[in-house]
A and B are shown apart, each in its own frame.
Chain A
Amino acid sequence: MARFNCVDGVRVQMTASEEAARDAEEAAWAADTERREAEATLKETEQDAYRLARMMEDLIAGDPPHAETTKWLNKRTAARAAMVK
């Protein structure tokens, strides 16, 4: 199927070489999916671990939970609920 660009509001069909370059980019993106998803999961896990550590610090110190911690917990609860439904 032909590919198009939008150049300053005008729809323009790609040249054969532009299309080939874009096909190659998309193929590289697809080939990289597994690594990318693993990296995203790792980042999320790191963030969770960091927030968990901060929550434990607050608990040990007898401080009320930080506002960010509460927000994070609420978001996780909402996200889980959304996934269940």
Chain B
Amino acid sequence: MSTLKTNGIVANNGTGPIASLPQSGGSNFQLGPNWGAWEFVSGTDLTVITNLDFTSLAAGYDYQILLQGVSPTTDAQLLYARFSQSASFLSGASDYTDGTTDGSTQIDLCFAITAANDEHLNMELSIPEPNVASRRKKIFGTAAMGRSANNLESFPDNTCGRLDANLNACDGVRLFWASGTWQAVGKAYLFRRRLS
């Protein structure tokens, strides 16, 4: 059985790895950036920071953010999101809409989350094709969290929100707590999926 070594595949008519297989005999098919798989972009161990920014989101891709075991420093915080355009994060008074507020300075992504060190937040966020013009930009996802209200240590959440300000292309996403910083626990990952 032959082994496919992906680190040896080089693009010659586009970006990213690409190859035609099999290399001899049989019918040819192409393996490369068009296969629709999620591609790893970055993984970051959280430190004590205020804003967690994912910038330089490329045109022609869906993006996914994974938060694994993260937490605010202060108890009972809401997790917020903002989009950026031309590397500037939008924060106008009615730039965003989410599940509870129509016209806000940010998207609210969850219930108030505990800072207890045995709980933490795990969340998957989808951002479909942020860097495209003339289309509404949305962020949505699912989560398991420690919720402050009623002392619920493992609570489910479905969430969504959108940019209301305009339909212009976005090149970044910022995640931050309503108040205070991120704790130095957990990890944040960014993946992307090519749309052509």
User: Which positions in A face B, CB cutoff 8 Å?
Assistant: 3-9, 11, 14, 21-22, 25-26, 29-30, 40, 44, 75-76, 79, 82-83
B44 interface neighbour in A6, A21, A44, A83, Cβ under 8 Å: A6
Counting CB contacts under 8 A, is B46 at the interface?
yes
Q: Decide if B46 touches A6 in the complex (CB within 8 Å).
A: yes
Bound Cα distance A53, B55 (Å): 48
Bound Cα distance A7, B46 (Å): 11
With A4-B47, A26-B179, A29-B179 known as contacts, the answer to whether A9 contacts B149 (CB < 8 A) is no
- Which residues does chain A contribute within 8 Å of B42, judged by CB atoms? 8-9
Bound Cα distance A54, B154 (Å): 26
Q: What are 24 inter-chain pairs, A to B, with CB distance below 8 A? A: A4-B48, A5-B49, A5-B51, A6-B46, A8-B42, A8-B44, A8-B53, A8-B54, A8-B55, A9-B44, A11-B47, A11-B49, A22-B50, A25-B105, A26-B180, A30-B179, A40-B112, A44-B150, A75-B150, A76-B150, A79-B150, A79-B152, A82-B151, A83-B151
Bound Cα distance A9, B43 (Å): 7
Counting CB contacts under 8 A, is B56 at the interface?
yes
Inter-chain contact total with CB atoms closer than 8 Å: 54
- Which residues does chain B contribute within 8 Å of A14, judged by CB atoms? 50
With A8-B42, A8-B56, A29-B178 known as contacts, the answer to whether A3 contacts B151 (CB < 8 A) is no
User: Which positions in B face A, CB cutoff 8 Å?
Assistant: 42-44, 46-56, 91, 105, 112, 149-152, 178-182, 188
- Which residues does chain B contribute within 8 Å of A5, judged by CB atoms? 49-53
Bound Cα distance A79, B147 (Å): 11
Q: What 8 A-B pairs come out closest when comparing CB atoms?
A: A79-B150, A9-B44, A5-B51, A6-B49, A7-B53, A82-B151, A4-B49, A29-B179
The winner among B42, B53, B105, B112 for most chain A CB atoms within 10 A is: B53
- Which residues does chain A contribute within 8 Å of B46, judged by CB atoms? 6
- Which residues does chain B contribute within 8 Å of A4, judged by CB atoms? 47-50
Sample of 7 further A-B pairs with CB below 8 A, known A5-B53, A75-B150: A3-B181, A6-B47, A6-B51, A9-B43, A11-B47, A40-B112, A79-B152
Bound Cα distance A4, B47 (Å): 9
- Which residue of chain A has the shortest Cβ distance to B155 in the bound complex? A75
- Which residues does chain A contribute within 8 Å of B51, judged by CB atoms? 5-6
Bound Cα distance A4, B48 (Å): 8
Q: Decide if A3 touches B179 in the complex (CB within 8 Å).
A: no
- Which residue of chain B has the shortest Cβ distance to A10 in the bound complex? B44
- Which residues does chain A contribute within 8 Å of B178, judged by CB atoms? 29
